[in-house]
Amino acid sequence: MAEVAMTEKTQEETSDERPVVLKVDHVAKMFRLPTEQATGLKMAFLNWTKGIKGYTEQHVLRDINFEVRQGDFFGIVGRNGSGKSTLLKIISQIYTPEQGSVTVKGKLVPFIELGVGFNPELTGRENVYLNGALLGFTRAEIDAMYDDIVEFAELEDFMDQKLKNYSSGMQVRLAFSVAIKAQGDILVLDEVLAVGDEAFQRKCDDFFTKVKKDPTKTVILVTHSMDAVKRYCNKAILIKDGNIIASGDKDAVADQYTLENIRTDQKHSHPKKNEHPEGLNDRVPIFRFIPVSSTVANCSDTFKFDIEYEYNNDDGYIAIAMNDIKRGGIPYDSGQKNLKVQRGHHILHMEMPLSLFNNGEFRLVGSFRTENLEDDKRTDMIAYTNDDNSLLFAVRDKANTRDYALLNDHAMQMRLISYDSEK
């Protein structure tokens, strides 16, 4: 079952008169993974009488439903193993679903695996025609597209050389150029935004920006980049364990994806019996940060969290630091002796404002400290939070448009005082 119930179509979706070019209707896909193999007819018969199948069923997609309209830039996101690549292969008619159907209106051009359909013994020119034919284009249609493909790939001087003599970067450019320059109606792309060098990526960015404005072109994009989803897509879905758990608004889907990643990263490990997790010991057997507020927050929110600890010694201190995961560095440190705590098992209720920050991902970490016997201004660390026991959270605010800096314009602005001109 999906974790988030799918809502009914909004009034905007209902009134959208653009034609539906892709309809995925109750699609499910299962793979059979062999567990043991019968060595003969007798063994196969015995396994059959015992109900031993010799395989396990892996349900990759369970009940997938969505529509893509003409002109959509549609994002599909999810963690590795969620089923999104399998879904693309079903859409591209590489796989057949166990149940449900996929309806496509128009010419669909898939770019799922780099170099599929390319022959290293053929020239670049021959591979363009071969790949175009595999995509369903006639020779006349490929003739019309050829110059655009070569120009975009920037391989004019190499098209009559064998593909095996191309560098990996040249092969990427050619394959990608065939996909995006093919005159199809629906372009299907799987994790392709990082192809080529920086200059080629800029060219791809310009292409996507242009395609986004073309009401006749439809793009389906699978990516791990939430920046790409927010930049290019107008709609998106989030897949988890073969189910759609979020659908619709791209920003909401991207934020839900971030939340799912944080939840996964914050699963506590279970050490062996009589062993303490990394960073803990007999004096501090419990020490962890627990989110109380949503771990995806706005700048206007006050983020609340708990610190649970067990301390089997005299009075001590808890120091808290915040790491900026996206940009690096430590934007805040509470100091060694700011938060004094007592012996025993306690839960501290904490809060902090987020109004200073631009969008980003952050981690709260803690260290447990005791008095230094030689210097009363210092403390000694006796325990710390590990990756499992620290706290990850994200700031996502539409008002923040310059995410490359930590502080937002509300927190800090540089203002011009005067302007002197030389006479």
Report if residue 292 sits inside a domain: yes
Residues 116 and 196 in one domain: yes
Residue 331: CATH number of its domain: 2.60.40.2550
pLDDT classification of 124: cutoffs 50, 70, 90: very high
Q: Which residue has the higher pLDDT, 97 or 273?
A: 97
Q: How many CB atoms lie within 10 A of CB 6?
A: 16
The pLDDT confidence band at residue 114, using thresholds 50, 70 and 90, is low
Residues 6+ positions from 383 with CB-CB distance below 8 Å: 279, 280, 281, 283, 284, 287, 367, 368
Residues 229 and 181 in one domain: yes
Q: Verify that 245 and 293 share a domain, yes or no.
A: no
DSSP 8-65: PPPHHHHH--SPEEEEEEEEEEEEEEE----SSHHHHHHHHHHT--SEEEEEEEEEEE
Q: Is residue 281 part of a domain?
A: no
How far, CA to CA in Å, does 420 sit from each of 390, 413, 414, 415, 417?
51, 21, 17, 15, 10
Q: What is the pLDDT of residues 250-274, one digit of tens each?
A: 888 888 888 777 766 555 555 566 6
User: 55 with 186, same domain?
Assistant: yes
The CB-side HSE value for 383 (13 A sphere, CA atoms) comes to 23
Q: How confident is the model at residue 5 (pLDDT cuts 50, 70, 90)?
A: very low
> Distance between CA atoms of 258 and 361, rounded to whole angstroms?
9
Inside any domain, residue 244? yes
Helices then strands (H, E): number in the chain? Answer: 9, 19
Let me know whether 182 and 240 are in one domain: yes
Let me know if residue 420 belongs to a domain: no
Q: What distance lies between CA 239 and its chain's CA centroid?
A: 11
- Asked whether residue 363 is assigned to any structural domain, the reply reads yes
Task: Tell me whether residue 273 is in a domain.
Answer: no
Tens digit of pLDDT for each residue in 276-333? 888 999 999 999 999 999 888 889 999 999 999 999 988 899 999 999 988 888 999 9
Domain match, 226 and 112 both? yes
**CA 20/CA 68 separation, integer angstroms:** 6
Whether 103 has a pLDDT exceeding 60, the answer reads yes
Q: Which two tokens stand for residue 82?
A: 């969620």
What pLDDT does 14 receive? 58
How sure is the predictor about 125, in pLDDT bands with cuts at 50, 70 and 90? very high
Among 248, 263, 278, the domain boundary falls at: 263
pLDDT > 90: percent of the chain: 41
Residues 317, 239, single domain; the answer is: no
Q: What is the pLDDT averaged over residues 103-130?
A: 85
Q: How confident is the model at residue 70 (pLDDT cuts 50, 70, 90)?
A: very high
Looking at the fold, whether 44 and 123 belong to one and the same domain comes out as yes
Calculate ∠ Cα 123-195-235, nearest 5°. 125
Q: What CATH number corresponds to the domain at position 181?
A: 3.40.50.300
Residue range 357-362: mean pLDDT, rounded = 90
Segment 13-40 mean pLDDT = 79
Could you tell me if residue 280 is inside a domain? no
Per DSSP bridges, beta strands 55-69 and 20-34 are: antiparallel
Residue 113 has what pLDDT?
64
What is the spatial distance between Cα 195 and Cα 119, in angstroms, rounded to a whole number? 20
Task: Please tell me the predicted confidence (pLDDT) of residue 1.
Answer: 38
pLDDT greater than 80 at residue 47 = no
> What is the domain extent for residue 309?
286-395
Q: Is the pLDDT of residue 92 over 90?
A: no
Domain count of the fold of the chain? 2
Strongest mean pLDDT among 41-45, 182-186, 302-306, 334-338 = 302-306
179/296 same-domain check: no
**Residue 32, pLDDT above cutoff 80:** no
Kindly give the residue spans of alpha helices, DSSP state H, lying in 266-339.
none
Other C-beta atoms lying within 10 Å of the C-beta of residue 86:
21
Q: How many CA atoms lie within 13 A of 17 on its CB side?
A: 0
Q: Per residue in 78-89, pLDDT tens?
A: 888 888 889 988
- Backbone φ and ψ for 381, nearest 5 degrees, come out as -80, 130
User: Same structural domain for residues 26 and 85?
Assistant: yes
- Mean pLDDT of the residues in the chain: 84
What is the C-alpha separation between 173 and 223, in angstroms, rounded?
18
pLDDT tens-digit series, residues 133-177: 887 889 999 999 999 999 988 899 999 999 999 987 888 888 888
- Tell me, what's the pLDDT at 301? 92
Cβ neighbours of residue 151 under 8 Å, at least 6 residues apart?
A: none
Per the CB < 8 A criterion, the answer to whether 295 and 116 are in contact is: no
- Same domain, yes or no: 317 and 250: no
Residues 136 and 167 in one domain: yes
- 48 pLDDT band, cuts 50/70/90, is low
Whether pLDDT at 112 is above 80: no
- pLDDT number for residue 203: 80
The pLDDT of residue 7 is above 50: no
The answer to whether residue 415 is domain-embedded is no
Given a cut of 80, whether residue 194 has pLDDT beyond it is no
Whether pLDDT at 222 is above 60: yes
